[in-house]
């Protein structure tokens, strides 16, 4: 028994969710068909509501319908897949970027060849006369192109297959006997090959330059890291913690963490000592320093803090200027707060009044 052939469109057997040919097709109560995986994914998102709907017609179902495979539809889809895969690409319709057949009406097929004599492009069906009729067999055919007129010499109506290096333009064979006689010329294909070679060389050179720059950047990074490492090592080699002297600590200052932290606090029950500040709320370090150095100090609080450098000979007793840091020629102080910092140097005198600290 002969089979009847009924042409169908591929989109008739496409899933409305994934837009691809149906895979493991199932029909739901409203009659629409979906891939089993696609409709299950849709309904999984509706589990909380307990009401399930068709993505196309929006019909609702309660409870969730049981899905059964549509075997007949699955066979039709498989046959359609086989036919689509077996179809020659030359019979495909023209898409974006394709050259269309000039003889097709309605939806145009993709062109496979273009004729330089007819200045027309043909699909495989409409190309047959050029392959079979003696009068058309001598026409020049080339790969389908949408720029046929640009390949034809406007003066001689011949294909431009030569490149004139003297004038840097494409010409035909008759141009060589006329305006371009005696010029440096090569075949167009040879010039294309040469330009491609030059482009490849330039790309290689550019890549090499990029690699050289990247190498230099890496070397600079390594040099910077080495300098940082050396600087850190130099700091660590000469780094030491300073400890605060309990004998100089004012009664309202509290020392902690092995005498490395001082806190402004309630009055402490320190014993009297000749080295203790009794008026200015200050404290000295035990260690003495000389030469070039710097300090790192961490502080916190609302009222701010005074960080000072002083000679050991600074006075300790009384409220006079000779006892306060930054108020005499024996000291310098930096006033720090959360909103500003102020260096008090107006009383610091670099003169013979200074006495070098004992070695």
Count of other CB atoms within 10 angstroms of residue 114: 23
| pLDDT given at position 286 | 93
| pLDDT given at position 223 | 96
Residue with tokens 């000592």: 273
What are 14's strand-pairing partners? 21
| pLDDT given at position 189 | 83
Question: Taking Cα atoms as reference points, which of 278, 330, 326, 290 lies closest to residue 306?
Answer: 326
| pLDDT given at position 240 | 85
| pLDDT given at position 279 | 95
Q: What is the pLDDT of residues 270-281, one digit of tens each?
A: 999 999 999 999
What are 343's strand-pairing partners? 334
How large is the C-alpha radius of gyration of the chain? 47
The domains of the chain, with CATH numbers, are 12-87 (3.30.40.10), 253-347 (2.60.120.920)
Question: Taking Cα atoms as reference points, which of 232, 262, 235 lies closest to residue 246?
Answer: 262
First-to-last alpha carbon distance for the chain, in angstroms, is 121
Can you list the positions of beta strands (E) in 112-156?
113-115, 120-122, 141-143
| pLDDT given at position 89 | 53
Dihedral angle, C-alpha 24, 29, 32, 35, nearest 10 °: -20
Distance CA 187, CA 282 (A): 94
Stretches where the chain sits below pLDDT 70 are: 1-11, 83-91, 340-359
Please list the alpha-helical segments (H only) found in the chain. Answer: 36-44, 71-86, 124-132, 134-137, 188-237
Alpha carbon 103 to its chain centroid, in Å, reads: 48
Q: Exposed, middle or buried, 67 (CB in 10 Å: 0-12/13-18/19+)?
A: middle
| pLDDT given at position 232 | 87
């Amino acid at each position: 028994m002969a089979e009847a052939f009924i042409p169908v469109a591929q989109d008739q057997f496409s899933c409305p969710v994934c837009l691809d040919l149906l895979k493991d097709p199932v029909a739901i109560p409203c009659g629409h068909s979906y891939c089993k995986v696609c409709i299950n994914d849709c309904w999984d998102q509706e589990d909380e509501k307990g009401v399930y709907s068709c993505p196309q017609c929006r019909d609702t179902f309660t409870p969730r319908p049981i899905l059964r495979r549509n075997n007949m539809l699955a066979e039709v889809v498989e046959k359609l897949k086989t036919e689509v895969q077996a179809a020659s690409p030359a019979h495909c319709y023209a898409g974006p970027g394709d050259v269309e057949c000039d003889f097709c009406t309605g939806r145009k097929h993709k062109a496979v060849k273009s004729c330089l004599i007819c200045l027309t492009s043909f699909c495989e069906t409409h190309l047959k006369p050029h392959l079979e009729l003696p009068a058309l067999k001598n026409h020049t055919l080339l790969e389908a192109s949408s720029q046929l007129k640009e390949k034809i010499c406007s003066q001689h109506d011949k294909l431009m297959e030569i490149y004139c290096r003297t004038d840097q333009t494409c010409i035909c064979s008759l141009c060589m006997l006329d305006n371009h006689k005696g010029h440096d010329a090569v075949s167009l294909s040879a010039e294309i090959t040469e330009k491609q070679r030059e482009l490849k060389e330039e790309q290689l050179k550019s890549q090499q330059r990029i690699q050289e720059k990247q190498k230099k950047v890496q070397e600079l990074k390594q040099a910077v890291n080495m300098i940082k490492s050396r600087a850190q090592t130099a700091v660590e080699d000469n780094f030491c913690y300073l400890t605060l002297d309990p004998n100089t600590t004012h009664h309202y200052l509290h020392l902690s963490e092995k005498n490395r932290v001082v806190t402004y606090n309630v009055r402490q029950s320190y014993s009297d000592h000749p080295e203790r500040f009794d008026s200015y709320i200050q404290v000295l370090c035990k260690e003495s320093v000389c030469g070039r150095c710097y300090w790192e100090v961490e502080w916190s609080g609302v009222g701010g803090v005074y960080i000072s450098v002083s000679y050991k000979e600074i006075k300790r007793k009384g409220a006079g200027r000779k006892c306060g840091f930054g108020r005499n020629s024996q000291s310098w102080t930096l006033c720090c707060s959360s909103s500003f910092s102020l260096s008090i140097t107006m009383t610091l005198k670099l003169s013979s009044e200074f006495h070098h600290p004992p070695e």
